[in-house]
Structure 1
Amino acid sequence: MDRVSHRPSCAKRLRQEGTERGETVHEIARNIHIHCSVSPLRAQRLARGMTLKEAAERLNVLGRGRAAAPRVDADQLGHWETGRQPRPATVELLCDLYECVPQDLVLASASLVPTAPPSPPSLAMQASAAHMSLEQHVDAARREVDRTLATGTVTATQVDLLDEQLLWAREQYVYTPPAPMLQVLLGQLKEVSDLAAQRQPAAVQVRLSELTAMLATLIADALMKLGHLTRAQSWYATARNAAEDSGNPELRARVRAQAAMLPYYYGPLEAAVSLSREARILCRGRPGATTAFSSAAEARALAKLGNTESAMAALRSARAAFEQTRDRGTVDNDAFGFPERRLRLYESGTLTALGQTSQARRVQEAALRLYPAKTGIDPALLHFEAAICLAHDGSPTEACQLAAATFLRMVPGQRTPIVEKRAREVIEALPPGKSGRGVRELREILARPTGPM
């Protein structure tokens, strides 16, 4: 990539060509960033055809009423686009203007070009090169490129078969215990990774990156359920890298929303809010299952933080997005789907955390009616939340009995650490110092070894 930034006319041409191909503005910005050697922040502006002055004026309009919002002029915006780091409040304003997240802007100076110096050529190569004419250099370079292009080994049919395998795994994941499912997912990922490690045509490479992102997300989720938190966090990072590489905005959002589950269950809750909010921003203007999922995840995390007003606003957004999704149909038996029962699960979590027990019970009952006989841990999570509601309403014995019965009814392979954690939250919801037979029995049940996982 040429280190000298190209003229604005080059970005204008890329914008026009990208629009004709139906690319999103973020895809166009990425192309401008790479081709024209400009910062991601400048690429976002050029992808929208805005001048520095126009962008600065829009930032000032967005900043009205915000206490920490800066007063921006074209010169200041130009400094940010060429490497100067703005304050956090300004970063938030820029994200609102360009409808993206901070990672998309990479405000610190960055380059897609590796900074490590290339390995020096061997003496034999130097001697050979010394005797080559310019024409020979040109011909040799062309032959090398042709060989590289010829090494693509994956056909569209092969990728379609990988897609079918992943779809099967996504359906199995809904009700299969995480430990055996992990083996299946790792096997599929090995097959995808082996193909992605070789040079493939761009369209094939994108699909392989998408498959990698989805498989890595499910692996991370399975590890989280099994209590391997550090590994789960690393796999979520891998999933995000693959999603970024694919350039698929909905997948980028979905991976973030799914990654928010780890800090939701294990902390910090602020990270869960941040990830789900980033996902919602990436979904802006594209109603669908991921939009509903992102808003619902944000609502549930905000509720745990005690932010009632924001949590309810996010929950309303999730309901509205889901209604738009319902018109286009939803998939029930898919780990990447967001059917009504999943929305009700998140709604239950939000209302339970806010102490709105009567409303939460109605939602829990409605959700449980939607689950088939063969399913995963979600019904158990709803029962635990019903038990928490009983604890909040002054019925500790009934709360512990419901939690104990729910835990014992589960298939042993589904009694994972995350399920145990939710069951213990029933005890934590009891008034301080509260004890009794029901509490003791629940503690004893949870103290029993569950066997290797």
Structure 2
Amino acid sequence: MPQAAHPPSCAKQLRQAASQRGASNQQIARIIHVHCGVSELRAQRLARGLTLKQTADDLNRIAEGRADAPRTDGDQLGHWESGRRPRNNTIELLCEFFDCTVADIGFARSAMSPTNVPAIQALIPRSPQKGFTDTDTLAQQVDAARWSVDRTLTAGTVSATQLDLLDEQVLWAREQYVYTPPAPMIETLLRHLAEVDELSAHRQPAAVQVRLSELVAMLATLVADALMKLGQLSRSQSWYATARNAADDSGNAELRARVRAQAAMLPFYYGPLEAAVNLAREARIICRGRPSATAAFAAAAEARALAKMGDALGADVALRHAASAFEQSGAGGPTDNDAFGFPERRFLLYESGTLTSLGHTSRARRTQDAALRLYPARTGIDPALLSLETAICLARERSAAEACQVAGTAILRITPAHRTPIVEQRAHEVIQALPPGIRDGRAVRELRDILALPPGQV
């Protein structure tokens, strides 16, 4: 018969004592779970000194505005804490709130290898009258069960050296991604993913599985971004979902936020803009106000999407948050040539997009000039996007000939392999920014002719 759970007062004493020793919430939750005999989910709540109602109210505040998020009350939360499994989107919300993994709240699949579970079950006596009355037999069974579990936990197939090599390969891919065209880059990324996926399919120690999930999240994010550049929108969306699942499985809050901020690019360019705002805002919430490159990226992405929606006030507030987080994080430096970095030139790119959409053309053009000076000679499509935003600013200033000339030059200069649908879509926005009455002029016709040329032809 299971041990009766200890009262909340016991958890409170444990929380206070552990807090004085500097223990984290996750460490406190594990102590409460083991000592008090409560579920992992209840231990997470008690580790923070929250009541059922307080937790439910906070969950509802986080879920506000999300179409698929459930409304939570104290009774429901109590059922989940007693073992009833909630829906997957609710589990994701709980993980976000408690800043933990699915396993930390007790809803992950068993860590036991399926092949070992029957063997362990066979060691457990079927009848209380047989075995448990015999001290020697019980001791043997207990020891045998522990040995079986230990074998399962040490059955990982990845050595520390192998894992380090995988990390190096993924880091190399992140650096190559900055300037390599998307089509050949996808082939490289898929080769790395196949290797990581094969290792992930086997039971690994928890620490190894976390690192593998992190690698999958990074690689899947880059695949999704490359597919977006190529105009493969549905595939890109699916890969972003895979990246989010892997990041959430890793429990790495920084990576969970980064994947969502990156995923906001897809609806920013192709719609719906509300989805871009929601993803960027979710990423910012996961960062919990901690200044970091990811927090700056999330706020900048939110500002750019809000500006494109016409929300000038919201965009201005988000851009100020981005600037503050960027300054405090000290972003840049060694991450300059990393696809998962957020150096100054990338921050300025997002600032340019925000100012361009808001119609602050003079400020936007100064920002574009500053950003272009920071890009190395060997790079991807960002300089072309900045030049096209300059052209959009000129179009809004009714300088049609100059706008089309800048846009046409940007298209002709870009490497053919980098001239992907996302670049051409931005070039068409230059024409759309012109007043309707002058969209049939000579300069516009010449720009349309350039866009009609196959990549690599002048």
* Fold equivalence (TM over 0.5): yes
Task: Tell me the equivalent position of 1:439.
Answer: 444
Q: How many residues align?
A: 414
TM-score by length of 1: 0.79
Q: Structure 2: how far apart are the matches of 1:244 and 1:186?
A: 21
Matches within 5 A, 1:206-285: 206-285=210-289
- Of 82, 85, 106, 2:78 maps to 82
- Specify whether residues 202 and 112 from structure 1 end up closer, same or farther in structure 2 by C-alpha distance, changes over 3 A only: closer
Task: Determine the structure 1 residue equivalent to 2:49.
Answer: 49
Q: Deviations over 1:79-133 (max 9, x none)?
A: 352369xxxxxxxxxxxxx995699899xx994459xxx99x99xx99x998996
Q: Which moved more, 1:409-418 or 1:436-445?
A: 436-445
Aligned-residue Cα RMSD (Å) equals 4.0
- CA–CA separation in structure 1 for the residues paired with 2:300 and 2:210: 29
8 Å contact from structure 1 (residues 219, 232) kept in 2: yes
Comparing 350-359 with 330-339, greater Cα deviation is found at 330-339
Q: Hey, what does 2:404 align to over in structure 1?
A: 400
Give 1:20 shift: 5.8
Pairing 1:146–2:150 present: yes
Partner of 2:89: none
1:8-64, CA deviations, whole angstroms, 9 ceiling, x for partnerless residues? 4468758976996864x478669989984365xx665423123457769x97xx99x
Write the mapping of 1:326-405 to structure 2, written as runs, cut at 5 A.
326=330, 329=333, 331-405=335-409
Instruction: Quote the Cα distance in structure 1 between the aligned partners of 2:289 and 2:20.
Output: 17
Q: Are residues 102 and 423 of structure 1, via their aligned partners in 2, closer, same or farther at CA, if it must alter by over 3 Å?
A: farther
Structure 2 gaps, min length 5: 66-71, 81-93
d(CA) in 2 for partners of 1:189 and 1:273?
A: 29
**Contact 1:348–1:382 (CA under 8 A) maintained in structure 2:** yes
Q: Report if the CA contact (8 A) 2:388-2:407 is conserved.
A: yes
Q: Residue type of the partner of 1:301? A: A
Note the C-alpha offset of 1:398.
1.4
Amino acid across the alignment from 1:37: S
Task: Report if the CA contact (8 A) 1:5-1:38 is conserved.
Answer: no
Alignment of structure 1 residues 30-109 onto 2, 5 Å: 36-37=38-39, 39=41, 45-52=45-52, 78-82=74-78, 100=96
Does residue 417 of structure 1 match 2:421? yes
Q: Which amino acid aligns with 1:46?
A: L
Decide which moves more: 6-15 or 337-346. 6-15
Per-residue Cα deviation, 1:360-395 (whole angstroms, up to 9, x for no partner): 001001111111111110000000000000110001
Structure 1: how far apart are the matches of 2:17 and 2:226? Answer: 43
Cα offset, 1:200, TM superposition: 1.4
Q: Aligned pair in 2 of structure 1 residues 339, 236: CA closer, same or farther (>3 Å)?
A: same
TM-score calculated relative to the size of structure 2 = 0.78
Name the CA shift for 1:405/1:256 in 2 (closer, same or farther; >3 Å). Answer: same
Show CA shifts across 1:139-191 (max 9, x none).
65444323322321212222111111111111111011011111111111111
Which residue identity lines up with residue 82 of structure 1 in the other structure? Answer: G
* Contact 1:10/1:36 (8 A) holds in 2: no
Aligned CA distance change for structure 1 residues 339 and 299 (closer, same or farther; 3 Å) = same
1:216-251 CA distance string (max 9 Å, x none)? 111111111111111111111111111111111111
Task: Deviation per CA, 1:250-282: give whole Å up to 9, x if none.
Answer: 111111101111111111101111111111111
Rounded to whole Å, the distance in 2 between the matches of 1:183 and 1:207 is: 22
Q: Structure 2 counterpart of 1:48, which letter?
A: R
In structure 1, the residue matched to 2:197 is: 193
CA distance in 1, matches of 2:27, 2:277: 26
Q: Distance in 2 between matches of 1:449 and 1:403?
A: 16
135-144 or 251-260: which moved more? Answer: 135-144
Task: Please name the residue that 1:94 is paired with.
Answer: none
* Kept after mapping to 2: 8 A contact 1:99/1:282: no
Q: Equivalents in 2 of 1:445, 1:293: separation in Å?
A: 33
2:423 aligned partner, one-letter code: V
